[in-house]
């Protein structure tokens, strides 16, 4: 803010003549001091007041310089008295308002337990040069209202350690709609990015017996001593999934020593049938630790089942941006409360720019990822361990085109206080078929792995009789697996009868022998490359389906059957 800083911009085809430059940062002259064909250096001026961030570089004879979306930001340092008008920094239970035009840079190692942080400008957490350095930030509410909160970015992740802890009790005041103990986001941007992990989950390389303290993986990983892992159940009981801490790493980066003996056997073999058919029945192993952590306070969150939450809501397509990459969320979700889920995208519409990638989420009292009135969200390469209720949750049967790729969901447990169906939860609960599911693992649930609980019409706040999910097309379902579930690995229920016009009946025209269903032809739906094993009933079951085809399914060691169909004839008016 006070100016006098030397700033260097690098690029190509720049001018080496400093006299040709006009550089304005937030509209304030930055005096050029040196220039080459690949860089220019200037000295910043003092920034008075609250001014929107902008970066302008002009070269006489060449024109404006493209900054590719990058910008120089004037910041107020949390540690400096001048940021607080010469007074003290905020103290216990005080609130902070960050107005538009103010960029507040958190450079202290620990804050007191603050009340509310209202972000209309920018709240920026930057890492320390020491990767083992740790910072702590505590608050009851963080509400981003048309502002920006940044804990690293995708291009420049947070590279040291930080723990953001949320506080509050169930009877504390709520921010309307968003709640408490929450990061709320309305018409703004949230970026939280830890160090990228090359492998977020993999599989055991060899079976381990009960009592073992050493495991081997199928591939090299970058996991280190002190980090926590999950090991999925490989028996009929999904609750045999276990969590341990690494205390030693082998030179091969595949072998690990754990802090405690395992309570259960974990199977890891591939079964061969003939020369080409292979059934992979190896336990999944997930990494649960990240350098950026978001949690509910440890003093109360576990005992009261009232953890931290993230609630993203503003009305309108792409009206907010939430990008979460390689962070850890634990002691999250608020039990007994509809809507107070661990991470909740709520009634936004399309969210093309948002994603959840590579995060670890564990010990959730209320789901993991909720898509409610939300489309085009990307959920990729995440690990979830121990969550209550439907864990990946598509809510109102209107949500479409969400991309769910290579997620590991372990140990989903029933909840007796949410929807009735949460008493029989699924790792994945899907009310609209037009979403994409590729290479996900449903590795242990009290009841279901993938549950297509298709609705007649969109429901809840999205209620719409012109939306007919039972008869809509399936986006894509390929390469998924399900094991150690209390009933079925894959369940299609009640009806799945895809057709060209979902809300119109199928009409049989006997006068057209070549295509008697031409008035509303069925859509061929393919569920492909699914593996279902060690489920308490079936690998897969379908109640009432139209032209639905299981292709290259592999099932084994399920208690009752590999695959079961109740009704498969889509002909006739009874299917209309």
Q: What token pair was written down for 276?
A: 């080409």
d(CA 204, CA 222): 15
Question: Is there a contact between 190 and 211 (Cβ–Cβ < 8 Å)?
Answer: no
pLDDT of 15 over the 60 cut: yes
Residue 337 has a pLDDT of 95
Residue 325 near residue 196 (C-beta atoms within 8 A)? yes
Please name every residue paired with 105 in a beta bridge, in sequence order, or none if there are none: 77, 124
Relative to beta strand 110-119, strand 103-106 is unpaired
User: Of 393, 388, 386, 379, nearest to 324 (Cα)?
Assistant: 379
Can you tell me the distance from the alpha carbon of 339 to that of 416, in angstroms, rounded to the nearest whole number?
15
d(CA 203, CA 206): 9
Q: Minimal CA–CA distance to 125: which of 147, 95, 103?
A: 103
Nearest residue to 441 via CA among 394, 381, 395: 381
The tokens for 434 are 């037009």
Query: What average pLDDT does range 548-567 have in this prediction?
Result: 95
Q: Which residues of 289-324 are buried (b: 16+ CB within 10 A; e: fewer)?
A: bbbbbbbbbeebbeeebbbbbbbbbbeeeebbbbbb
User: Residues 237-253: pLDDT tens digits?
Assistant: 999 999 999 999 999 99
Which of 324, 327, 332 minimizes the C-alpha distance to 296? 332
Residue 569 has pLDDT above 80, yes or no: no
Confidence at residue 575, expressed as pLDDT on a 0 to 100 scale: 37
pLDDT in the model for residue 330? 98
Residue 541: predicted pLDDT: 97
Q: How far apart are CA 384 and CA 406, in angstroms?
A: 12
Collapsing DSSP states into helix, strand and coil, what is residue 325?
strand
Query: Quick one: pLDDT at residue 234?
Result: 98
Strand pairing class (96-98; 103-106): unpaired
Three-state DSSP at 300 gives coil
Q: How confident is the model at residue 1 (pLDDT cuts 50, 70, 90)?
A: low
Q: What does R_g of the chain's alpha carbons equal in angstroms?
A: 27
124 vs 509: CA distance, rounded Å: 65
Residue with token string 């037009």: 434
Are 244 and 204 in contact by the 8 Å Cβ rule? The answer is no
How confident is the model at residue 574, as a pLDDT? 40
Beta-sheet pairing, 476-478 with 21-25: unpaired
Confidence of residue 69 (pLDDT cuts 50, 70, 90): confident
Distances (CA, A) of 320 to 51, 242, 410: 22, 37, 30
Q: Is the pLDDT of residue 573 over 50?
A: no
Residue 576 pLDDT greater than 60, yes or no: no
What are phi and psi for residue 239, nearest 5 degrees? Answer: -80, 5
Report field, pTM of the whole predicted structure over 0.75: yes
Tell whether the model's pLDDT for residue 571 goes beyond 70.
no
């Amino acid at each position: 803010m006070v100016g006098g800083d030397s700033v260097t911009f690098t690029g190509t085809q720049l001018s080496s003549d400093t006299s040709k430059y006009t550089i304005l940062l937030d509209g304030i002259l930055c005096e050029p001091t040196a220039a080459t064909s690949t860089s220019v250096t200037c000295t910043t001026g003092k920034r008075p007041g609250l001014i929107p961030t902008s970066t302008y570089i002009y070269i006489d004879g060449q024109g404006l310089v493209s900054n590719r979306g990058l910008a120089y930001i004037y910041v107020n340092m949390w540690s400096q008295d001048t940021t607080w008008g010469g007074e003290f920094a905020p103290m216990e239970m005080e609130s902070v308002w960050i107005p538009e035009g103010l960029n507040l840079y958190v450079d202290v190692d620990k804050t007191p337990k603050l009340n509310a942080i209202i972000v209309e400008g920018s709240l920026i957490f930057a890492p320390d040069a020491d990767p083992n350095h740790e910072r702590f930030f505590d608050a009851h509410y963080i509400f981003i209202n048309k502002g920006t909160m940044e804990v690293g970015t995708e291009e420049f992740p947070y590279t040291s350690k930080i723990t953001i802890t949320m506080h509050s009790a169930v009877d504390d005041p709520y921010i309307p709609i968003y709640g408490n103990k929450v990061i709320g986001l309305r018409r703004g941007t949230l970026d939280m990015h830890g160090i990228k992990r090359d492998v977020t989950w993999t599989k055991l390389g060899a079976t381990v017996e009960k009592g073992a303290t050493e495991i081997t993986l199928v591939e090299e990983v970058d996991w280190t001593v002190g980090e926590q892992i999950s090991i999925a159940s490989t028996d009929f009981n999904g609750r045999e999934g276990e969590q341990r801490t690494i205390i030693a790493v082998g030179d091969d980066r595949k072998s690990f020593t754990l802090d405690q003996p395992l309570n259960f056997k974990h199977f890891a073999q591939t079964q061969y049938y003939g020369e080409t058919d292979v059934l992979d029945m190896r336990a999944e192993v997930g990494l649960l630790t990240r350098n950026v952590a978001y949690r509910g306070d440890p003093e109360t969150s576990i005992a009261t089942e009232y953890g931290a939450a993230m609630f993203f809501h503003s009305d309108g397509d792409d009206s907010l941006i939430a990008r979460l990459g390689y962070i850890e969320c634990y002691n999250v979700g608020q039990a007994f409360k509809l809507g107070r889920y661990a991470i909740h995208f709520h009634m936004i519409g399309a969210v093309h720019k948002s994603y959840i990638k590579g995060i670890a989420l564990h010990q959730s009292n209320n789901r993991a990822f909720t898509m409610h009135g939300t489309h085009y969200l990307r959920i990729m390469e995440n690990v979830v361990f121990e969550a209550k209720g439907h864990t990946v949750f598509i809510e109102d049967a209107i949500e479409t085109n969400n991309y769910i790729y290579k997620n590991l969901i372990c140990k989903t447990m029933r909840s007796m206080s949410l929807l009735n169906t949460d008493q029989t939860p699924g790792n994945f609960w899907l009310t609209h078929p037009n979403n994409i599911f590729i290479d996900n693992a449903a590795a242990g649930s009290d009841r279901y792995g993938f549950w297509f609980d298709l609705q007649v019409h969109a429901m809840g706040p999205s209620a719409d009789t012109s939306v007919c999910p039972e008869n809509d097309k399936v986006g894509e379902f390929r390469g998924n697996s399900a094991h150690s579930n209390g009933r079925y690995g894959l369940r299609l229920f009640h009806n799945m009868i895809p057709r060209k016009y979902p809300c119109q009946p199928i009409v049989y025209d006997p006068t057209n022998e070549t295509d008697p269903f031409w008035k509303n032809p069925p859509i061929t739906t393919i569920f492909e490359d699914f593996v279902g094993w060690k489920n308490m009933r079936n690998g897969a079951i379908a109640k009432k389906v139209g032209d639905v085809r299981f292709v290259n399914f592999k099932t084994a060691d399920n208690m009752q059957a590999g695959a079961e169909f109740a009704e498969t004839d889509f002909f006739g008016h009874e299917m209309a």
